[in-house]
Chain A
Amino acid sequence: MSVQARTGPVLSLAGLNKSYGALQATGDVALEVAAGEIHALIGPNGAGKTTLVRQIYGSEAPDSGSIRLRGEEIGHLSVPQRVRQGIGRSFQISNVLADFTVIENAVIAEAARTGDAFRFLRPAVSDPVLVEGAIKILSRVGIEGRADTPVSDLAHGERRLLELALALASDPALLLLDEPMAGAGPEETQHMIGIIDRLRGDVGILLIEHDMDAVFRLADRVTVLVEGAVIASGTPDEIAGDAAVRAAYLGSDDDAAA
């Protein structure tokens, strides 16, 4: 990896466009996430935040534009290829392996991380090498104590943490978090904020979040998306004082607090 790749932005988008018929979901978006920073992406419902994340992740193809991860174009890569290149993702609705226990989830993630999932002989779940790695994955978000619990018995917040652990399992350079606090109670939210805060510096995070309290506590930078286009980007203070943002989003009385 060159020095520039290490010090340059972990993610850079340029001229990204995506339309569904007449609806422009992404309009000429340019955005950068610096290595290790927490970059919040906010905007009213329907602003195209998740659509943007899906294009970065690879589950949706942009009509035009470039997506660079650590300086390298990844726009042509499939989802698994992008994950192996260093993208981790949590989903709007918790996306974990519901039929398995917590440790089994992490064991599979560890097998995937080490690139040794195509093995047919040794039992996976009792493999000490995998289990050791799996415990490390879980301890990163502090749920190693729930290792043997079936996912179906987890509380909502714990499920969210497990998903975060799985997204982190591949040691990504960029983490896409789609509303990690959604549906969480006040205590769970505080806990999640603490954990995301501790990831600062380790991994670049693009955070979609409606909880403005969380956004302003966590974000190093904030980008505001309205009708698919970036209307402002800056520090939380700059964003809070931006007249256009106030008019279009923060000041409006629809769903700023939702």
Chain B
Amino acid sequence: MGVFSILRDGLARNRLLGLILAGFALFPVLSGIMDEPFWNDLAMRIMLLGMAAMGLNLVLGYGGMVSFGHAAFVGIGAYCVGISQFYGFDNGWAHIAISLAACGLLGLVIGFLSLRTTGIYFIMITLAFAQMLYFLFVSLETYGGDDGMSIDRADFMPIDLWDPLRLYYLIWAGLVIVSLLLMVIVRSRFGVVLEAIRGNESRVEAMGLVPLHFKITGYVISAMICGLAGALFASWQEYVSPDIMHWSRSGELMIIIILGGIGTMAGPLIGAVAFLLLEEWLPELMHLVAPAYAENWMIIFGPVLIGVVLFARGGLVGLLARIGGRRS
């Protein structure tokens, strides 16, 4: 089976994800017709957050490892770009390579130290590592400390990013590559063993495999995907601060996954769409209905999330599948 047919097979099994990716490819046409360039900005943010959530989903959804510190990898990915530029190093492709290498290495170290534990201990250790990195960057005055550092749009030769649409399609291409990579990985031998470990680690051991090796590898891949999202995020936001790796950002990624459908291919991306649209529209909606409470849109947002978790098991992907199943 060649690479091409593996990818075709993967796409055929993940039509929903394929549809969303196609939707993002065509979206700028719509926002162009409606003359709403801000929509593209929102779509880019959705794609970036979706990409990071997809990375986390490999360990959280498929591997069953509840990592509560993945925003740290997004942050390190972004800071790699900022710090590279700080020292006059401007090549965007090299930034991405540096981000991938740094997050891969960091994922290896954190994974190696934390994956010996499980359950609540694992959650706490990953959170602790993320907080350490957060406070490290808060204290690094050279790189802006608490205030963060501004970033110039990097030089992605031969793509000149002066046109925001080119940045849009750079991010889109990154998302497509991550999607294809993940849909292949989860069905490979490695991916199937990783999922087996989630359900029954002792049986995998009894087969003569070392679960830790698979978990660490999954953790590293996941960290690198988040690093890529972070590197692209830096170019999109043209700014990075420690806030990007605050623990609440890690929580956001987890909420996005659960909202969209944990352990599914399309879930994190659909979750990112829903999460950011709600975040965008709810305040406006509140402003119309009850202007005095517009700032407290979280009052509605919270119960919506709880509702999805309680009543739409399998998240929005599960909900869509059930609606589709009823129709056919």
Do A and B make up one complex?
yes
Enumerate chain A interface residues (CB-CB to B < 8 A): 78-80, 83-84, 88-89, 91, 95-100, 104, 107-109, 111-113, 116-125, 127, 130, 166-167, 169-170
Nearest chain B residue, comparing its CB with the CB of A176: B206
List 17 additional contacts besides A96-B200, A99-B195; criterion CB under 8 Å: A79-B205, A80-B208, A80-B210, A83-B208, A95-B203, A95-B206, A100-B196, A108-B189, A113-B207, A118-B217, A119-B188, A120-B190, A121-B6, A123-B6, A123-B184, A124-B188, A166-B206
Residues of A within 8 A of B209 (CB): 80, 112, 117
Residues of A within 8 A of B210 (CB): 78, 80
Residue in A111, A116, A120 whose Cβ sees the most chain B Cβ within 10 Å: A120
Bound CA–CA A123/B189 (angstroms): 7
CB-CB under 8 A for A170 and B191, given A96-B200, A122-B6, A123-B6: no
The answer to whether B189 touches A124, judged by C-beta atoms less than 8 angstroms apart, is yes
The answer to whether B207 touches A109, judged by C-beta atoms less than 8 angstroms apart, is yes
Bound CA–CA A107/B204 (angstroms): 12
* Chain B interface category by residue count: 20 to 34
Contact bitstring B179-215, A, C-beta under 8 A = 1, else 0: 0000011011111110110111011111111100110
The answer to whether A89 touches B206, judged by C-beta atoms less than 8 angstroms apart, is yes
The answer to whether A123 touches B190, judged by C-beta atoms less than 8 angstroms apart, is no
B147 within 8 A of A: no
The answer to whether A170 touches B207, judged by C-beta atoms less than 8 angstroms apart, is yes
Bound CA–CA A97/B203 (angstroms): 7
B1 within 8 A of A: yes
The answer to whether A83 touches B207, judged by C-beta atoms less than 8 angstroms apart, is yes
Residues of B within 8 A of A119 (CB): 188-190
Dominant SS among interface residues on chain A: loop
Could you give 20 example pairs across A and B, Cβ below 8 Å? A79-B205, A79-B206, A80-B208, A80-B210, A95-B202, A95-B206, A99-B199, A100-B199, A108-B192, A108-B204, A111-B189, A120-B184, A120-B188, A121-B3, A121-B188, A122-B6, A122-B189, A123-B1, A123-B9, A124-B187
Dominant SS among interface residues on chain B: helix
CB-CB under 8 A for A125 and B187, given A100-B196, A111-B193: yes
The answer to whether B199 touches A98, judged by C-beta atoms less than 8 angstroms apart, is yes
CB-CB under 8 A for A169 and B207, given A97-B200, A121-B184: yes
The answer to whether A107 touches B192, judged by C-beta atoms less than 8 angstroms apart, is yes
Bound CA–CA A75/B252 (angstroms): 46
The answer to whether A83 touches B6, judged by C-beta atoms less than 8 angstroms apart, is no
Residues of B within 8 A of A127 (CB): 189
Enumerate chain B interface residues (CB-CB to A < 8 A): 1, 3, 6, 9, 184-185, 187-193, 195-196, 198-200, 202-210, 213-214, 217
Cβ distance B207 to chain A, nearest Cβ, rounded Å: 4
The answer to whether B206 touches A117, judged by C-beta atoms less than 8 angstroms apart, is no
Bound CA–CA A116/B191 (angstroms): 13
Bound CA–CA A121/B183 (angstroms): 10
Q: A80 touches which one: B187, B188, B205 (CB < 8 A)?
A: B205
Nearest chain B residue, comparing its CB with the CB of A83: B208
Bound CA–CA A166/B192 (angstroms): 16
Bound CA–CA A167/B209 (angstroms): 13
Bound CA–CA A98/B184 (angstroms): 23
Bound CA–CA A160/B126 (angstroms): 38
Cβ distance A218 to chain B, nearest Cβ, rounded Å: 22
Nearest chain B residue, comparing its CB with the CB of A109: B207
Residues of B within 8 A of A78 (CB): 210
Residues of A within 8 A of B206 (CB): 79, 83, 88-89, 91, 95, 166-167
Residues of A within 8 A of B189 (CB): 108, 111, 116-120, 122, 124, 127, 130
Bound CA–CA A154/B196 (angstroms): 18
Bound CA–CA A78/B217 (angstroms): 20
Bound CA–CA A83/B204 (angstroms): 11
Residues of B within 8 A of A89 (CB): 206
